[in-house]
Amino acid sequence: MRSEYQHLIDLNDYPVSWWKNVVELGEKIRNNPESYAHVCDGKVMATLFYEPSTRTQMSFQTAMIRLGGKIIGFDNPANSSVAKGETIKDTTKIVSSYADILVIRHPIAGAAKAASLTADCPVINAGDGGHLHPTQTLTDLLTLKIEKGTLSGLTIGMCGDLINGRTVHSLCKALSQFPGNKFVFISTPELRMPAYIKDIIKASGSTFEEVDTLEEAIGGLDVLYMTRIQQERFASKEDYLAQKNTYVLDRKKMLLGRKDLIVMHPLPRVDEITVEVDDDPRAMYFKQAKYGVFVRMALVMTILAEKKSSETLRGKIYGGVRCSNPRCITNHEEYLPKSFRSSGDETLLECEYCDERKLI
C-alpha cells in the first residue's frame, strides 16, 4: 500500500544514507541556524500529542517556528474530539487537511503507522507506545556525531527499562546499521531488550551482551545511555515498584567510567541519574535535548522538500489472523487492515504496526 506522502514512522524504512543526510543537515543548522529562518515560511505543522511530552513536542514546535512556519495541535486529547470517541483515522484525515506536516505521539504501538494510512500530508512518529521513537534517535545520532565524532565502532551501554523504552529500540535498530558497534544491555531479567531487536542486531553483524549491573559494564563503555523505568507501561503498580530504583547512576559509579565516556538520557529523568552527575563534563543529556531542535529542523526541511511517496504497508493479510499484542493499535481501531510480514515459511508472522511476533 502506497501513500502519496513521505512519512517517518521507522528510520529503518529508509536507507542509512537518508538519515545520515538528515543528521549532517542538523549539524549544519546548528552551526548557522539563522540562515534557515525562512525555509518553511507559510507552512503549518500539526502536533497531535495523545501522551505527555515536554522535549519532543516543544522541540518540534520550536523547530517549525525557527524555520519560519506556524503550529497548531493539541497536547491533551481530552480537549479534542478524541474525548468524544473520534478514531485516529478521522482525526488525522481532518488535521492533515489543515496542515502541511503532522507529528503524532500516542500511547499505543503502531498508532503513527495507522495515522499514515489515511493522512493527506506527511506523518512523523514522535513515539508510539513502547515501540519506536525515531526522532529521538536522530537527536541521539546528532549528539554522537558532535560529541564522539563518529557513529561507528562504539561500545554503547543501554541501562534501565529496555523492554518498554522506545528510545532504545529505535537507537539499537539505527546504530546496528553502522559498522563495529557493540551493545551492552544493562537491565534486570524482567526488563531485557525485546527478542526482535536482538535479532535485528544479530542480523546486522553487530554484537551485544546482557549484564545485570552498571558497575560491571561502565568501565568498558564509550557511551552510557540511561533510561527511565516506564511506569505508565507496567501492568501493575507492584510490578513497577519491583523495578524502580534498581539502577542509579551517581558520582561513585561515574568514577568507574572512562574519561571519554559520554552519558546520554532522552529525559525525563526520575531518579536514575543523581543531580550531582549533572556537573560532570561527561553528562551530555541537556546538550542532547538541545540538539533535538536542530535535527528536527533538518527532518522537517527534508520531508517538506523531498515530496516523495512512501510504502506504508508492505505485508499481507492472513484471513482472520490478529495481532496478539493487546497494546497494538490494530486491537484498538478495528477498521485497520491487519497486515503481517512473514519470516519466509509463513508460520512466524510479524505485525506490521507493532512488530509483535505470532506463530500460526
Interface residue list for ligand NCD (CB under 6 A): 55-56, 127, 133, 136, 166-167, 228, 230, 266-268
Instruction: Name the CA radius of gyration of the chain, rounded.
Output: 20
Angle between helices 16-31 and 134-148 (to 10 degrees): 60
82, 50 contact by CB (below 8 A): yes
Cα-based distances in Å from 135 to 103, 161, 267, 329? 10, 19, 14, 20
Residue 83's Cβ-count burial label (10 Å; 0-12, 13-18, 19+) is exposed
Choose between 53 and 87: whose C-beta lies nearer to ligand NCD.
Answer: 53
For the CB of residue 169, give the shortest distance to ligand NCD in the complex, in Å.
Answer: 10
The type of residue at 94 is I
Considering the complex, state which of residue 137 and residue 206 has its C-beta at the smaller distance from ligand NCD.
137
CB nearer to ligand NCD: pick between 165 and 340: 165
User: What's the closest the beta carbon of residue 160 comes to ligand NCD, in angstroms?
Assistant: 9
Q: What is the CA 146 to chain-centroid distance, rounded?
A: 20
Q: For residue 316, what are the contacts with CB-CB under 8 A and spacing of at least 6?
A: 339, 340, 342
Q: Nearest approach, Cβ of 85 to ligand NCD (angstroms)?
A: 25
Closer of 58 and 146 to ligand NCD (Cβ): 58
Q: How far is the CB of 171 from ligand NCD (least distance, A)?
A: 11
Retrieve residue 179's grid coordinates.
559498522
CB of 266 to ligand NCD, least distance (A): 4
For ligand NCD, the closer CB: 106 or 182: 106
Could you tell me the smallest distance in angstroms from the CB atom of residue 228 to ligand NCD?
4
Question: Measuring CA to CA, which residue among 6, 7, 248 is closest to residue 112?
Answer: 7
Query: Minimal distance in Å, beta carbon 224 to ligand NCD?
Result: 16
Report d(CA 295, CA 288) in Å as an integer.
Answer: 11
| Complex with ligand NCD: residue 180 or 268, whichever CB lies closer | 268
CA dist., res. 27 & res. 22, Å (int): 9
User: How far, in Å, CA of 354 to CA of 332, rounded?
Assistant: 13
**Pairing label, strands 348-351, 339-342:** antiparallel
Query: Using N-to-C axis directions, what is the helix angle for 134-148 and 55-66, rounded to 10°?
Result: 80
Q: Is 224 exposed, middle or buried (0-12, 13-18, 19+ CB in 10 A)?
A: buried
Looking only at Cα atoms, what is the longest distance across the chain? 57
As measured in angstroms, the least distance from the Cβ of 288 to ligand NCD is 9
The answer to whether 295 and 321 are in contact (CB under 8 A) is no
Nearer to ligand NCD (CB atom), residue 118 or residue 135: 135
Q: Of 51 and 352, which CB lies nearer to ligand NCD in the complex structure?
A: 51
Query: Quick check: 310 and 5 in contact, CB under 8 A?
Result: yes
- Minimum CB separation of residue 42 from ligand NCD in Å reads 28
The smaller minimum CB distance to ligand NCD, of residues 164 and 181, is found at: 164
* Cα angle 290-294-300, degrees, rounded to a multiple of 5: 135
